Structures are given as C-alpha cells and as structure tokens.
Amino acid sequence: MKKVSIIGAGPSGSYLACILANHGFEVSVFEEHDKVGFPVQCTGITTSFLKELVELKKEFVINKVSKARIFSTNKDFVDIRIKENFVLDRAKFDHYLMKKAEKQGVKFFLGHRFVGADKNTIRIQKAKSKIIKEIKTDYIVGADGPLSDVARSFKFKNKKEFLYGIQARVKLKNNNIVEFYPYIGEYAWVVPESKEIVRIGVASGKNTKKIFDDFIRERLKENQIMEIQAGLIPVYNPKAKVQKNNVFLLGDAAKMVKATTGGGIIPGILGAKALANSIIKRKDYNTQLKKLVKKELLIHLKARHIMNKFSNKDWDYLIKICNNPKIKKILSENERDFISRILIESIIAEPRLLYFAKFIF
C-alpha cells in the first residue's frame, strides 16, 4: 500500500486525504496546531459551487447570502442578485472535513510540526518535544499555507508575493448583503455572519493597517469590534512550480487563490481533486490543474492586473456600466469562480466594456 504524507489539515489537505484513502492509499496528515481551523485567517464566504464539492451541513454553514453590493469610488453601487453564497464557520468546516477523512481511515496527527524531509522521508516534531521522528513515505504533499515549510525544504524557489489581509468580526446590524469595494487596497469587504454580526476587512500589498483603520473608522465604534483576524494571502503565480518528483504543493502553498477576491477554498479543493487524479491515475499534476482550476485563476490574475491600473473615474464608469440590466443578469447567473464565462458574456452584452481593453497593454 502506497503511503502519502500530507502536511497541513486545511480544507485542501483534508479533502485530498479523503479521496486518496478512499482509493486505497495509506494517508497521514500532520498539522502543527492542536486544533484544525485555528488561527482563523479567512473571510469564509464561498459561492454556491461549494455544494457541488462538499455536502453542506448546518454545523458549519452559519449564513446564506443572495445579494451583493459592489461600490465605486463616488459611493455609487450596483446591487446584484447572486446564487446563494455560503458563509462558513471555518474552524467547524475544517473539522468536518477532517472527520470525514478519518472515516475513510486517514490518520491525523495534530500538534505535529514538519521540520524537514528527504526524498522518501519526512521529519516530524511533536509540540513541546525535542524528539524528531522520521517517517518513510511514498508521496509528500505540502498543503501548509502561504509560507510552506515543504516548499522551503525542497527548494521550490517560487516567487514570494503576498497580500496582507486584516479582518474584524464586529457587532453591526445589516441587511444580509455582501458589500465589496474593489478599489480599496486590493479589495475590501463586508460579509454578514448574521443580522447582527459582520466580517469586515481589507487586503493590500502595503499599508494594510492604515487602509483597514480608515475603512472601518467611518462605519464602526470601537466597542463594536469582537475579534481581529489577520494573515497572508498568496498572489497567484501561473509559473509557480508545484511538483518535484514525489513532492507536491497544494492550496495556498501552491498559490491557488483568486486574485480578484482572495478566495482560496474552492480553488484549493479543485486543486485537491487535480492532485488526487494525478496520484491515483499517475497523470501529470500540471495537466490536471489546467483542466480544473489554472485557467480561471489566470484570468482572475489578469483581471486584477487590469483593475490595478484604474483611476477613480474608471471605477465609477465600470459600476455605471454594470448597472445595465443585461450585465446584472449575467453576474447573477454565473459563479465568480468561473470568471471567463462572465467576461465573455458581459462583453457581448455590453460592448462599452471594451473601453477597459486599453489597460491590457
């Protein structure tokens, strides 16, 4: 029986573990934290496409949202009816995926840190112990986040480019609408957990704390803040190396994040499906990624590069165009995971969008 060692018990790591165990592999997952899902470093909102990948449970879906409001710099906005989005309790979601994998025979080792490896051996150190255990394995998967120790240990040498995200959970009455501000930092958001609590945050490559403070100052009183969360958001790199022989990178470690929104849950799970196909069927990992996720991530990246060149006037013009009923209909009928479809249909319906083609060059 082939052995697989996965470093990191986030959604992509646990999802991969479940698939491989179901196909007869001996799978072990090593997580440096004592609990999965902590610390929380994710806004935790996904499109309805999640239900195509995971059985949804009330224990981790804490809210459902069907309306989004996208703002321009002049405070104009476009309201869009969207397919039902799911707001997750990330810790409970991660725990659910872990338990699902355990039922397939996956062994989880919490509080166990990856400290190094050779081709077929990983070295693991248990928390508060000086003893380093060597474990023989056939495959090594780094699903261990933006600053992947697996990537460092095997000298992947991918370009290190990140955004820094800061988010607060706050007491704030709301109308259960997702708000999105694509011109603040790289992007900013307000995501409702309930009618009384929202997650409000900013992602930026620089000056994130100041941008965050300015963003929330006009909305909140200090005593409304319940919790502050922060973390690195990898910038997708289509040239990133994700495999060296029997060593693979997955999820945030492989920079599988949508550059327009920072969403990484669904790309990471799709990446897990691609890697499972690669290992089970002995197929090329990159080829499998191209089929399932790389094309859309690349278009998100190109769209972000274009938007980064916008002036305030350009943002205002874009929101004005998006108030066209035809565009609103397209946005409401398509998931943002599949941005290529949205762009093609939108340009056909509204040729004025070609104005923004000048930013490609």
* Model pLDDT for residues 284-296, shown as the tens digit of each residue: 999 999 999 999 9
Domain residue spans of the chain: 3-36+91-159+239-304, 45-88+161-234, 310-360
Q: Check whether 198 has a pLDDT greater than 90.
A: yes
Angle 254-293-107 from CA coordinates, rounded to 5°: 55
Q: Name the band, by pLDDT with cuts 50, 70 and 90, for residue 229.
A: very high
Contact 342, 334 (CB under 8 A): yes
Q: Which residue has the tokens 């990133």?
A: 240
* Strand bridging mode 107-110 / 26-31: parallel
Q: In this structure, how many other beta carbons lie within 10 angstroms of the beta carbon of residue 357?
A: 10
More confident residue, 94 or 118: 94
Does residue 169 register a pLDDT over 80? yes
Residues whose CB is less than 8 angstroms from the CB of residue 337 and which lie 6 or more positions away in sequence, other chains included: 47, 49, 258, 263, 266, 267, 296
Structure tokens at 290: 């191209």
Instruction: Assess whether pLDDT exceeds 70 at residue 272.
Output: yes
**pLDDT given for residue 130 in this prediction:** 85
**What pLDDT sits at residue 106?**
97
- Of 152, 160, 158, the C-alpha closest to 114 is 152
Per-residue confidence (pLDDT) for residue 109, from 0 to 100: 96
- Mapped onto helix, strand or coil, the DSSP state of residue 153 is helix
Higher per-residue confidence, 217 vs 275: 275
Q: What is the mean pLDDT of residues 307-331?
A: 95
pLDDT at 361 over 80: no
The pLDDT of residue 222 is: 65
pLDDT of 221 higher than 80: no
**pLDDT of amino acid 128:** 80
Whole-number mean pLDDT of the chain?
A: 94
- Alpha helices for 134-206 (secondary structure H): 149-153
pLDDT tens digits for range 73-108: 998 999 999 999 999 999 999 999 999 999 999 999
Question: 32-82, pLDDT tens digit by residue?
Answer: 999 998 887 889 999 999 999 999 999 999 999 999 999 999 989 999 999
Within the chain, where are the H helices?
11-22, 90-103, 149-153, 208-217, 265-281, 285-289, 295-307, 312-322, 325-333, 339-349
Coil vs helix vs strand at 326: helix
- So what's the pLDDT on residue 71? 96
For the segment 130-163, what is each residue's pLDDT rounded down to a tens digit?
Answer: 889 999 999 999 999 999 999 999 999 888 899 9
Residue 79 pairs in a beta bridge with: 69
* Contacts with 222 (C-beta within 8 Å, 6 or more apart), sequence order: none
Could you give the CA distance from residue 120 to residue 353 in angstroms, rounded to a whole number?
52
| Partner residues linked to 351 by β-bridges | none
Q: Which residues of 212-234 are buried (b: 16+ CB within 10 A; e: fewer)?
A: beebbeeebeeebeeeebbbbbb
Residue 271: which of 234, 223, 312, 306 has the closest Cα?
Answer: 234
Task: Check residue 219 and give its pLDDT.
Answer: 78
Which among 51, 10, 2, 48 has a CA at the least distance from the CA of 27? 2
Q: Which CATH architecture has domain 3-36+91-159+239-304?
A: 3-Layer(bba) Sandwich (3.50)
Neighbours of 354 (CB within 10 A): 9
Q: Under a CB-based contact definition with an 8 Å cutoff, are residues 191 and 158 in contact?
A: no
Helices within 66-218 (DSSP H only): 90-103, 149-153, 208-217
Cα–chain center distance at 185: 18
Is pTM, for the whole model, over 0.85? yes
pLDDT of residue 40: 79
Going along the chain, which residue ranges are E strands?
Answer: 3-7, 26-31, 45-46, 61-71, 77-88, 107-110, 112-118, 121-126, 132-136, 139-142, 162-171, 178-181, 187-192, 197-204, 225-234, 243-244, 247-249
Fold type of domain 45-88+161-234? D-Amino Acid Oxidase; Chain A, domain 2 (3.30.9)
Other beta carbons within 10 angstroms of residue 192's beta carbon come to: 24
Residues in the chain: 361
